[in-house]
């Protein structure tokens, strides 16, 4: 892709076709580059900011589980925010400055609260969690090769997915340029 911003937008759009609905909420950390929140807004969903952990600098799973247990309830298999009445459909953890988030904790929350996880690994090329590269723990992850990142091609990004249907969908969006900035 042209960059991780485009990659995130394509991913959000892919989710949008199959999954994310306008007005849904997506959990993201406030400590990130603006592209993370923009991708959520881009597909008509609402960023819902949740606290970071002071050592991983990523979403704090202990605080998040505690927060979701009081703030949400499961209604027909969906995680609903009791204050807004909206469905919280996904979360986008960011591996800040290359530090992997607590993936084990977040994956278990995603399972319990029926959230899709998209990893923003724009800053974490070369970072591993449990001997596995960051960005590959969920169905969708993204990398950035922008000039200010760990490994750069000047500009560019990549989408990581193990799902063939998703790969085909994002690839057609990319080639036909509907999301080029």
Per CB under 6 A, residues contacting ligand PLP are 3-5, 32-33, 35-36, 94, 120, 122-123, 144, 146, 157
* Least distance (Å) between residue 101 CB and ligand PLP: 11
Query: In the complex with ligand PLP, which residue's Cβ is closer, 3 or 135?
Result: 3
Residue at token pair 């278990």: 108
As measured in angstroms, the least distance from the Cβ of 155 to ligand PLP is: 7
Which pair of tokens denotes residue 132? 């596995």
Closest to ligand PLP by CB, 146 vs 161, is 146
Contact in structure between 5 and 32 (CB atoms under 8 Å) = no
How does DSSP classify residue 89? E
Let me know: does 159 contact 140? Beta carbons within 8 Å. yes
Instruction: Please report how close the Cβ of residue 144 comes to ligand PLP at its closest, in angstroms.
Output: 3
Please, what is the minimum distance in Å from the beta carbon of residue 2 to ligand PLP?
A: 8
Minimum CB–partner distance for residue 154 and ligand PLP (Å): 10
- Residue number, 32 or 81, with CB nearest to ligand PLP: 32
Shorter beta-carbon distance to ligand PLP: residue 25 or 120? 120
69 vs 37, 78, 79, 129, CA distance in Å?
24, 13, 10, 26
Which of residues 60 and 123 has its CB atom nearest to ligand PLP in the complex?
123
The set of residues, in sequence order, having a beta carbon less than 8 Å from that of 110 and lying 6+ positions away, is 91, 116, 117, 138
Token pair for 90 = 């996904």
What is the bridge-based pairing of β-strands 46-49 and 25-28? Answer: parallel
Contact (Cβ atoms closer than 8 angstroms) between residue 9 and residue 39: yes
């Amino acid at each position: 892709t042209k960059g991780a911003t485009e990659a995130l937008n394509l991913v959000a759009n892919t989710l949008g076709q199959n999954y994310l609905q306008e007005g849904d909420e997506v959990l993201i950390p406030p400590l990130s580059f603006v592209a993370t929140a923009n991708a959520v807004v881009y597909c008509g969903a609402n960023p819902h900011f949740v606290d970071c952990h002071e050592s991983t600098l990523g979403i704090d799973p202990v605080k998040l589980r505690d927060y979701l247990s009081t703030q949400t309830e499961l209604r027909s298999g969906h995680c609903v925010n009791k204050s807004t009445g909206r469905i919280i459909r996904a979360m986008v953890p960011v591996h800040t400055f290359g530090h992997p988030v607590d993936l084990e904790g977040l994956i278990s929350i995603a399972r319990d609260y029926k959230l899709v996880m998209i990893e923003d690994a724009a800053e974490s090329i070369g970072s591993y969690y449990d001997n596995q590269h960051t960005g590959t723990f969920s169905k969708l992850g993204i990398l950035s090769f922008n000039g200010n990142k760990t490994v750069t091609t000047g500009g560019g990004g990549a989408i990581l997915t193990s799902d063939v249907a998703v790969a085909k969908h994002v690839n057609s969006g990319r080639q036909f340029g509907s999301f080029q900035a």
